[in-house]
Amino acid sequence: MARIAADLRDYVPGWKANFRLAQTPQVMRELDTWLRRRLRAVQLKQWRRGTAMYRELRKLGATADEAAQIAVNAKRWWHNSRRVVQRRWSSAHFDRLAMPKFS
C-alpha cells in the first residue's frame, strides 16, 4: 500500500493542477471517494483468502462477526470495500500514508 501511495504522489498533483480551473469541486470529491474505495478493494484482493482477510480485519479492530462476514465473501472485493472495511480504513488511515487528495 505504501508503494501505491508513493506512485499516486507522483500523479495526483499533476491531475489536480491540470483540472483546477474546471470549477468541479464535487467531481473531485467523488474522485477522492472512489480512489480510496479502490485502494481498499486492492488491499482486500492482495489478502486473497478469507482466512487472511479475517485475520487482518481482526487486527484492524473489526469484531469477529464483521470480519467473518467479509471473509465469507472473499472474492467480492469491490462490494466488501464499502462495508466494514470503509469504517476501519477511514480517510485518516490514508492521510497517515501521505496519500494525496484531489479535493
Domains of the chain: total: 1
Q: How far apart are CA 59 and CA 52, in angstroms?
A: 11
CA gap 103, 101 in Å, rounded: 6
10 Å CB burial of residue 49 (0-12, 13-18, 19+) is exposed
The pLDDT of residue 89 is 78
Full residue range of the structural domain in which residue 72 is found: 2-96
Asked if residue 65 is part of any domain, the answer here is yes
* Model pLDDT for residues 5-63, shown as the tens digit of each residue: 888 888 888 888 777 777 777 888 888 888 888 888 888 888 888 888 899 888 888 88
Percent helix, strand, coil in the chain (nearest 5)?
Answer: 75, 0, 25
Measure the CA–CA gap between 66 and 63, rounded to whole angstroms.
Answer: 5
Residue 103 lies in a domain: no
For residue 88, is it within any domain?
yes
pLDDT of residue 27: 82
The Cα–Cα gap between 33 and 30 comes to 5
Domain presence at residue 33: yes
Tell me, yes or no, whether 102 lies in a domain.
no
Q: Is residue 69 part of a domain?
A: yes
The pLDDT of residue 37 is 87
